[in-house]
Amino acid sequence: MKTTSCPSPLFSTYCFASGGQPSCISRVCGMRTFPPPREPSCTSRRMKLRPSRADVRIARGLRLRSLRLGLTGMADVVEFHRLTQGAQAKGVHLEGVDGLWQPFIVEYKRGRLRHEEGYEIQLCAQALCLEEVLHVQIDSGSLFYGKTRRRLDIAFSKDLRSRTEAAAARLHELLGLNITPKAASGPKCEQCSLVDLCLPKVTGTKRIVEKYLAEAINDKE
């Protein structure tokens, strides 16, 4: 979630999508805030499962939601691993497939393998959503980095779950204040898909508005 590193892109997308009015379409690095739906967003009937191996089924673009956290979103990939008899982990039943299956979320990211708190919290948020819908505990997931084509396994520890819940609460707090936070301008901004919305070089500095406008006019001339 972007609330863990820079909240400005979150709020900018919220305002861009809703015209500054309360809305359910605020994008938060893959997760959104929403009014509670009447029924779950991911059930076995709605999953399009593709066999990968005899003991693995894969669902892509699986919609998620959490009424408790007030979030909804979509997982890139959810792998369902068949549990062997006598396994300690609790699994779920999948329609049309025998046995019990353990969910394992995989989130795709650009660049090289590295630890990013925001990515790990996003992954954990997806797990919390899926746990709530499927009534099963998910202990870990993975971040897959395209540059190195390697996975980074993330354990959903008690600490990570607490930080994820705190980020979700902070998200709703920011939206309730209806005040755009200052951007934390830095090198990462140039690669952010929301840079044109939050304008970190403008909102993240102490530049005077008149000076900024004068520079913008000179650039056009």
Question: Alpha helices, DSSP H only, in 65-116?
Answer: none
Nearest 10 degrees: CA dihedral of 43, 46, 47, 51? 130
- Write out the two tokens for 100: 């019990």
**Crossing angle of the two packed helices 158-177 and 8-18, in degrees rounded to 10:** 50
Instruction: Per-residue pLDDT tens, the chain, 221 aa: give them.
Output: 545 556 555 554 444 444 433 332 233 334 554 444 443 344 444 566 666 677 999 999 999 999 999 998 899 999 999 998 877 678 999 988 888 999 999 999 988 898 889 899 999 999 999 999 999 999 999 999 998 999 999 999 999 999 999 999 988 888 888 776 777 777 777 777 777 777 777 766 655 556 666 777 776 65
Task: Please give the single-letter amino acid code of residue 146.
Answer: G
* Rounded Cα distance, 111 and 211, in Å: 36
Strand 140-145, strand 97-109: pairing: parallel
User: Please, what sign has the CA dihedral across residues 92, 97, 99, 102?
Assistant: negative
Give the list of residues 6+ apart from residue 145 with CB closer than 8 angstroms, or none. 109, 110, 111, 112, 113, 114, 151, 152
Beta bridge partners of 72: 32, 65
Whole-prediction pTM value?
A: 0.73
